[in-house]
Amino acid sequence: MKGDIQRKVAHIALDKHYKEVNEIEDAKEMDERIEKAIKPKEGADPLTEDARLSAIKRARFNIITKSFHDPEGATAHQKQVERDKLRASAEARSSTPVDNQPGNSEAAPSTQKHYVLAPEAWKKPFLELRGLHVLKHPRVLQTLLYLLGYTREQVCERDTNALSFKMVRELINERLFTAMSQY
């Protein structure tokens, strides 16, 4: 019980930190990407206000969609994360013991680095659903699978409408993510 309370309090603190710091960075990055996407090519006429608003909406949709399912971008992002980890570990090794004394160094940030608009950031927590034994809202997952074209026989227990999480656990894979992006 105490562990659950501590976990929820930690999530609240992380959410608060995200809202205060990282959400602003994400909004700035989104605006920069949109401006880059709608920038008229050289020699082209500037966009009218209506065309500009339409282009902004289209660019925002494309950017959000790309961050949802972007295997190439996810691979590039993972390589960047690994490079940052190697760089951080090399910096930690290169510091001298005198630098690590409490009075001589600044407090190191205890949180992980935030990557603005990381592609497929939702995927890892979604895959963690496979490790669960009890699902709080099974109807949500069941509805998702029905919308993506899975049959009742693939999703439910035999001769019922009750979700069979043992069967669904096997359906949570790359094929499901591809179907979600194509929907």
Per residue, the 3-state secondary structure of 27-53, as one string, reads: HHHHHHHHHHHHCCCCCCCCCCHHHHH
The range of the structural domain enclosing residue 28 comes to 1-68
- Residues 80-127 pLDDT 10s: 888 888 888 877 777 655 555 554 444 444 446 666 667 777 788 888
Same domain (yes/no): 35, 78: no
Residue 154 is predicted with a pLDDT of 93
From CA 117, how far away is CA 26, in angstroms rounded?
6
Evaluate whether residue 108 is within a structural domain: no
CA–CA gap between residue 127 and residue 164 (Å, rounded): 17
Residues 40 and 77 in one domain: no
For residue range 9-35, list pLDDT tens digits in order.
Answer: 888 888 888 888 888 888 888 888 888
Q: What is the pLDDT of residue 173?
A: 87
Instruction: Name the more confident of 128 and 69.
Output: 128
Residue with tokens 């966009």: 47
Mean pLDDT of the chain: 81
Q: Which of these, 134, 129, 137, 164, lies nearest to 150 by C-alpha position?
A: 164
% of residues, the chain, pLDDT over 70: 87
Question: Does a structural domain hold residue 105?
Answer: no
**Sequence letter at residue 138:** P
- Let me know if residue 95 belongs to a domain: yes
Residue 174 reports pLDDT greater than 50: yes
N- to C-terminal Cα separation, the chain: 40
Residues 43 and 79 in one domain: no
Total tally of structural domains belonging to the chain: 3
What does the pLDDT read at residue 149?
93
